[in-house]
Amino acid sequence: MKLVISGAHTRLKKAISTVCQGAPLQGCRVHFMRKMLFVVPKAARTRLPRSSTPSSPNPTV
């Protein structure tokens, strides 16, 4: 396996590292956007690039 895209939950990360040994773990776009929208003030959200909105399709790996 070349890459695992998943949430960063502790038990999930442990299970992935056991089953997919050596595969790098990348956080998913949905969780990234949730974290980013939590940090960015509402007034500044309009300046975010459209490619970072959750409705954008994920790029193929």
Residue 58 lies in a domain: no
Residue 20, burial from CB neighbour count under 10 angstroms (0-12, 13-18, 19+): middle
What pLDDT, on a 0 to 100 scale, did the predictor assign at position 14? 92
Residue 19 lies in a domain: yes
Residue 48 lies in a domain: no
Residues 20 and 32: their CA atoms lie apart, in Å, by 22
What pLDDT, on a 0 to 100 scale, did the predictor assign at position 56? 46
Question: pTM for this one?
Answer: 0.50
Residue 28 lies in a domain: yes
Residue 33 lies in a domain: yes
Per-residue tens of pLDDT for the chain, all 61 residues: 788 988 878 898 899 999 999 999 888 888 888 888 888 888 887 877 665 544 444 554 4
Residue range(s) defining the domain that contains residue 16? 4-41
Compute φ and ψ for 25, nearest 5 degrees.
-110, 125
Residue 8 lies in a domain: yes
Residue 26 lies in a domain: yes
> How many folded domains does the chain comprise?
1
Give the three-class secondary structure for 11.
helix
